[in-house]
């Protein structure tokens, strides 16, 4: 298979147009709460607001996204205004007295759900770190760094008093936190001490590769024992192909920073094995959840096809191809692109549908909700656009 410069140029334009012409205008037009601040994320197919609750991690993600666009695409005042508008709402209402970030707020900013996990904190740190690059405001970088250190302090018990599992019986650790930290530390590398950055990157890299990555399967597990051992339980057998692929491109970013070619190749091979494992050979698309032993999963929605695993898989393939030239990555990228563009992309109203049945039919005619906001899609098409531009620029005819 020969991939030419014209291929990179073609897909660069597709991703650029989708981002600037369809995805961002949707959120700019429909998501901003001009009365009480912050963003609506519960948006119907045409952008109509069907619920006004505000989920803090999605508020943070949208602040990060528009600040990222300002920093990497164009210093547009409108994008900075949107990021700053969301950040102001979060500064006024987002944190508890302990400094932890709530999970959800009502329309006016009153807390609805306590800070029962650490992920609102992770995305708050990302958001204010990215915004601080633009504003140079001490208050923004202070929020980012203090929240980051709160995360480190809580990483051994991220749910704290809200942990519902019984202590001392089946103790498992989740992929989620080391996965997010592998990206968050890079996001904050401009404001953290260099030694802390290196130490944290090496720590999460070791944990993911030594505990969660199982080379005999070529897969990353969602939950393992505290020593990395396999647990023959619902949680221990769980594989989420989307999470695994997202983790792998985070690791590629670390490997690129550290010039670790061996790790880049290991991640590329794992991307391929994860796609081969998680792909639905009958209907196409990636399964949401799978059981390592082929048993029924705890999650009844296991065979649904969701937007975010597919865009994360596309990033993983594009990064793998960019860093290695492995044609397997390009072939899979084309397969994923064809499925994604024919099933998730909404050319009529903008943005993407989020939820499909196994057969590929849209099950929820919404563009945002409690779990879907202005993040995976715009981040993904931005990164794909950037990677295609790099491949086009660096192309040398064979």
pLDDT the model gives residue 100: 96
3-state secondary structure of 176: helix
Distance CA 203, CA 126 (A): 19
Taking only Cα atoms into account, the Rg of the chain, rounded to an integer number of angstroms, comes to 20
How many angstroms from the chain centroid is the CA of residue 231?
26
Handedness of CA 93, 96, 98, 101 (dihedral sign): negative
172 - beta bridge partners? 225
Domain ranges (residues) in the chain: 36-161
3-state secondary structure of 351: coil
Of 320, 341, 344, which is closest to residue 332 (Cα–Cα)? 320
Please give the sequence-ordered ranges of beta strands (E in DSSP) within 178-218, or none if there are none.
213-214
239 - beta bridge partners? 290
Three-state SS annotation for 118-147 = CHHHHHHHHHHHHHHHHHCCHHHHHHHHHH
Of 340, 341, 318, which is closest to residue 328 (Cα–Cα)? 318
Handedness of CA 92, 57, 176, 160 (dihedral sign): positive
Following CA atoms 379, 329, 212, 280 in sequence, which dihedral angle do they give, to the nearest 10 degrees?
A: 90
Residue 153: how many other CB atoms lie within 10 Å? 9
Q: What are residue 217's phi and psi, to 5 degrees? A: -110, -20
Q: What is the pLDDT along the chain (398 residues), one digit of tens a residue?
A: 789 899 999 999 999 999 999 999 999 999 999 999 999 999 999 999 999 999 999 999 999 999 999 999 999 999 999 999 999 999 999 999 999 999 999 999 999 999 998 999 999 999 999 999 999 999 999 999 999 999 999 888 777 777 788 888 889 999 999 999 999 999 999 999 999 999 999 999 999 999 999 999 999 999 999 999 999 999 999 999 999 999 999 999 999 999 999 999 999 999 999 999 999 999 999 999 999 999 999 999 999 999 999 999 999 999 999 999 999 999 999 999 999 999 999 999 999 999 999 999 999 999 999 999 999 999 999 999 999 999 999 986 65
Q: Which two tokens stand for residue 104?
A: 């959800």
Contacts of 392 (CB under 8 A, 6+ apart): 5, 8, 9, 12
Please, are residues 354 and 340 in contact by the beta-carbon 8 Å criterion?
no
Q: What are residue 350's phi and psi, to 5 degrees? A: 95, 165
224 - beta bridge partners? 173
Q: Is residue 295 classed exposed, middle or buried when 0-12, 13-18 and 19+ CB atoms within 10 A define those classes?
A: exposed
What fold is seen in the domain 36-161? Glycosyltransferase (1.50.10)
pLDDT the model gives residue 398: 54
End-to-end CA distance of the chain: 12
Handedness of CA 99, 104, 110, 115 (dihedral sign): negative
Helices (H), 31-167: 56-72, 77-93, 119-135, 138-154
Distance CA 223, CA 52 (A): 34
């Amino acid at each position: 298979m020969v991939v030419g410069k014209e291929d990179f140029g073609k897909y660069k334009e597709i991703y650029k147009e989708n981002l600037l012409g369809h995805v961002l205008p949707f959120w700019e037009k429909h998501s901003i709460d001009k009365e009480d601040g912050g963003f609506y994320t519960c948006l119907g197919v045409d952008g109509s607001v069907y619920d006004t609750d505000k989920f803090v991690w999605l508020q943070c993600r949208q602040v990060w996204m528009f600040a990222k666009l300002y920093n990497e695409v164009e210093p547009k005042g409108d994008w900075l205004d949107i990021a700053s508008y969301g950040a102001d709402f979060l500064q006024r209402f987002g944190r508890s007295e302990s400094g932890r970030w709530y999970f959800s707020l009502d329309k006016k900013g009153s807390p609805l759900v306590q800070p029962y996990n650490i992920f609102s904190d992770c995305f708050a740190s990302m958001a204010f770190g990215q915004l601080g690059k633009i504003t140079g405001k001490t208050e923004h970088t202070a929020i980012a760094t203090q929240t980051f250190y709160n995360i480190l302090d809580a990483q051994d018990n991220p749910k704290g008093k809200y942990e519902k599992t019984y202590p001392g019986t089946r103790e498992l650790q989740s992929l989620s936190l080391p996965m997010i930290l592998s990206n968050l530390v890079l996001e904050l590398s401009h404001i953290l001490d260099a030694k802390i950055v290196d130490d944290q990157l090496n720590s999460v890299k070791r944990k993911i590769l030594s505990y969660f990555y199982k080379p005999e399967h070529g897969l990353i597990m969602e939950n393992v024992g505290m020593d990395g051992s396999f647990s023959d339980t619902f949680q221990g057998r769980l594989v989420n192909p989307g999470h695994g692929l997202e983790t792998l491109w985070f690791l590629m970013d670390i490997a690129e920073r550290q010039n670790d070619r061996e790790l880049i190749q290991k991640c590329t091979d794992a991307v391929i094995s994860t796609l081969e494992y998680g792909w639905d050979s009958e209907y196409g698309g990636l399964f949401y959840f799978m059981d390592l032993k082929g048993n029924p999963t705890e999650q009844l929605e296991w065979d649904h096809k969701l937007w975010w695993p597919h865009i994360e898989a596309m990033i993983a393939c594009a990064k793998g191809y960019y860093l290695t030239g492995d044609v397997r990555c390009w072939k899979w990228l084309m397969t994923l692109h064809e499925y994604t563009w024919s099933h998730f992309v909404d050319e009529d109203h903008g943005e993407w549908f989020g939820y499909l049945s196994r057969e590929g039919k849209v099950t929820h005619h919404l563009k945002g909700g409690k779990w879907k906001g202005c993040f995976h899609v715009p981040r993904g098409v931005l990164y794909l656009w950037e990677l295609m531009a790099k491949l086009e620029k660096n192309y040398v005819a064979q």
